[in-house]
Amino acid sequence: MDVFIQLLINGILLGSMYAIISVGLTMIFGIVRVVNFAHGEFLMVGMYGAYLLAAKFGLHPYAAAVPIVLLLFAMGAIVQRFIIQPLLSADEHIQIFATVGLSTALVNLALLLFGADLYAVPASSVQRTVMVGGFSLVIGQIVMFVCALALVAGLHFFMQATPLGRAIRATAQNRTAALLMGVRVDRIYVISFGIGAACVGLASALVMPLYPVSPTIGTYFVLTAFVVVVLGGMRSMYGAFFGAMLIGIVDSLSGYYIAPDLKEVVYFAIFIAILIFKPTGLFGLGRGTE
């Protein structure tokens, strides 16, 4: 029983990492209605940024979170304004090709600048484990879990209690009605894409002390994030959070009880089953973003 509880705890802590990445992806899809296949590469850019700040200036990745979040917000806003915005009236597959092309370009740019080597920040206290109630917890994962809760709570307050948040929700629910009410929808799209990218910027600063960065690091994380987002309901921020917890638990349990090499097979099987039997996801509401 202790082993099972330890696996559940590990899964929840792992899920918090997926949650931060997936909430950003949900923000972009739920509001801009664009599937961002470059989301994983945004994570990669943020991790390289955190690495460079640590290597050149001795800045801990957690301290680098603020400039990395601002950098990714600006990057997301620029991508939306100059790449996605001109294609919003085009067919959806054109938008997909654009984000796939951006993903490929970023990976190859990273290969050109850094090569295929792995880069890691110096070991720090966040990589240590602590015993809580007889269970082993990694400090960095505890921090990530707390940040995931704070992120979802902060976004909830922002979306519910601020004029800009209400404008974003109105745009997500009905673009035409929002336009008629005087909402500058194009501006909302830019801001929303920037917020989604900023979420993955936060994730990159939190992930960097625990994982080395390489040009292809984003691929693994974004594939899992897509599973989480579909499981959670595509447009539900809370669904993305709880879906991430569920996938983290599935990852932990299947890696132990089945085989570490087959854990991806398990949650991708869940992904396919959700697409077949409940395409709106377990927590999906069909329209808007919660």
Rounded Cα distance, 185 and 177, in Å: 10
What average pLDDT does range 207-214 have in this prediction? Answer: 92
Query: If you average pLDDT over every residue of the chain, what do you get?
Result: 88
pTM exceeds cut of 0.85: yes
What average pLDDT does range 230-245 have in this prediction? Answer: 83
Question: Is residue 48 a part of any domain in this protein?
Answer: yes
Q: Would you say residue 180 has pLDDT above 50?
A: yes
User: What pLDDT sits at residue 162?
Assistant: 94
User: What pLDDT sits at residue 73?
Assistant: 97
Q: Would you say residue 129 has pLDDT above 90?
A: no
Question: Is residue 116 a part of any domain in this protein?
Answer: yes
Question: Is residue 284 a part of any domain in this protein?
Answer: no
User: What pLDDT sits at residue 125?
Assistant: 78
Question: Is residue 283 a part of any domain in this protein?
Answer: no
Q: Would you say residue 289 has pLDDT above 80?
A: no
Residues 177, 178, 181, CA angle at the centre, nearest 5°? 90
Q: Show the domain range for 63.
A: 2-277
Question: Is residue 70 a part of any domain in this protein?
Answer: yes
Question: Is residue 288 a part of any domain in this protein?
Answer: no
User: What pLDDT sits at residue 101?
Assistant: 94
Between the two ends of the chain, the Cα-to-Cα distance in Å is 36
What's the maximum distance between 2 C-alpha atoms anywhere in the chain? Answer: 58
Question: Is residue 258 a part of any domain in this protein?
Answer: yes
Question: Is residue 290 a part of any domain in this protein?
Answer: no
CATH number at 54 reads 1.10.3470
Higher pLDDT, 117 or 234: 117
How many domains does the chain fold into?
A: 1
Residue 110 amino acid letter: A
